Structure 1
Amino acid sequence: MTLQAYQDIFCRMIASSDYRARLIENPATVFEQHDLSDRERRRLTAMADHPGMRVNTAIHRANRLTPLDQTLPFTCFLLGQRLGPLLDRYWHGNPTENLQLPAECVRFADFLAAEMEAGRLLDPIVGEVLAFERACTELRFYTEQELRLQAGAAGRLPPQVRVLRFQHDPERLLNALSELQPPPPDLAEGEFHLAIDARSAEPVFRLLDRRSAAALLGRQARAGWCAGSGSPGTKDSGWCPR
């Protein structure tokens, strides 16, 4: 018995109704790449056709969607009807679930980034919001040491501080999304920099002017906060995922 192959097929049947349908229609095509006994093949084929598998799939999807809804809510909202097909592809390529919020957030964010790089997902606002929510999740869950290691030797900012670049007004954009409203049609475009300071109990958000952003990101960056730069800091305004 090849337990790993058996478990892999069983997990894929739960994760993907399409995979299960292919197995029912043509089991030989699915099984030919695995070293399975005749008994194992019969068991898997019978389980694939069992009505209870649909319930398993529904529960599995709910469990897998929960970490994404908690860490990337704005991204999921922006994707709208595109989310379903994207999740199908993501879950097909990643059949095993990871209920650790930051780990699943990073894995799905990497998947979406690859989709955008390949030209299968064309939406610059989604890319900006995805980077924002990923940063918020990392700042919330990672320790200072983990953040420091992630930044590496090139990190000029304190590990709990991030400066994100937007091509659309982040204040109006994030305010709209926090109210579950689509981005305003007249959303200003340009070069914007949003700083997130998570060194205190509540994150502080600050829009930076170009000079302040250059100072923080360039050689003039200091170990502390660039006092007085940009717009006044705003404590947690409902932007960060909880």
Structure 2
Amino acid sequence: MSLLSFQKALTDLIASPQLCLQVRAHPAETLSRYDLTPREVTRLKTVVHQQGMSVSCTLYRVNRITPIYTMLPYTCLLLGPALIPLAEEFWEICNKSDLQFKREITLFGDFLLQQITTGSLQNPYLGEIVAMELAINELKFLPRTALLNAPVNEEGLHPLIRLVPFDHEPEPLLIELSRMQIPPFTAGTGEYFLVIDHREEELSFSTLPRKTGAVAL
């Protein structure tokens, strides 16, 4: 068990600069949560002061922020300077990562949606943009060719189509974001669906009034 505990402690340290600082300041207390031999405790106390540990922590954080920044670009734009503090909060909560893009962006997106629901994050466009980018990535990870001839579901939707509710007209909002500009918080509200269709090789987008619903799309 000691070797497994040592590996677990080392992995946790690489994933958390804060934990490294805690070990530096209070090594015995912090490492007491692991089943370590005195020799292993000494090794870890030495490791957290090595320059290589700082590099490892940085690489780990880069590997975790890369899928977020790459696959949730409009979300990141809307978050602005709040992105890194929120990512760090997310990493503290979800410190078990396999560094797979799909899982990482889904978990981070769900984390943001929860923050919006509780009122911790307040941005009139953020919820719908997070939901849109999660839907886009969900479609991109599906086996498109295998699903092309699949039947529609009970709601009349083809499995390669997603409907994302919007409280603002999608087109002008997305035009602003595509220019990497923060839209003004004065846009009119309404009830819309953004239709994301991946039946063709390239994604296509259209807008429906929300009252239309999903009818054989």
Instruction: Note whether the superposition's TM-score is higher than 0.5.
Output: yes
2:19 alignment partner in structure 1? 19
2:104 maps to 1:104: yes
How many angstroms apart in 2 are the aligned matches of 1:88 and 1:12?
14
SS in 2 for 1:162: strand
Taking a change above 3 Å as real, the CA distance of residues 119 and 154 of structure 1, as seen in their structure-2 partners, is: farther
How many angstroms apart in 1 are the aligned matches of 2:32 and 2:119?
33
How many angstroms apart in 2 are the aligned matches of 1:145 and 1:201?
9
Number of aligned residue pairs: 214
1:32 alignment partner in structure 2? 32
1:142 alignment partner in structure 2? 142
- Partner deviation per Cα, 1:174-209 (whole Å, 9 max, x = no partner): 111111100134322121211111111111111113
Taking a change above 3 Å as real, the CA distance of residues 146 and 62 of structure 1, as seen in their structure-2 partners, is: farther
For normalisation by structure 2, the TM-score amounts to 0.88
How many angstroms apart in 1 are the aligned matches of 2:97 and 2:130?
20
Taking a change above 3 Å as real, the CA distance of residues 119 and 7 of structure 1, as seen in their structure-2 partners, is: farther
2:205 maps to 1:208: no
**Displacement of 1:43:** 0.8
SS in 1 for 2:158: coil
1:4 alignment partner in structure 2? 4
- The 8 Å contact of residues 169 and 189 in structure 1, kept in 2 or not, is answered as yes
Matches within 5 A, 1:13-92: 13-92=13-92
2:115 alignment partner in structure 1? 115
- The 8 Å contact of residues 90 and 108 in structure 2, kept in 1 or not, is answered as yes
**Displacement of 1:154:** 4.8
- The 8 Å contact of residues 161 and 197 in structure 1, kept in 2 or not, is answered as yes
How many angstroms apart in 2 are the aligned matches of 1:196 and 1:153?
16
Amino acid at match of 1:98: D
For normalisation by structure 1, the TM-score amounts to 0.80
Aligned residues: percent identity?
36
- The 8 Å contact of residues 6 and 36 in structure 1, kept in 2 or not, is answered as yes
- Partner deviation per Cα, 1:108-166 (whole Å, 9 max, x = no partner): 1122222223332232411110000000000111225998xxxx975531111111111
1:127 alignment partner in structure 2? 127
How many angstroms apart in 1 are the aligned matches of 2:88 and 2:108?
12
How many angstroms apart in 2 are the aligned matches of 1:145 and 1:11?
39
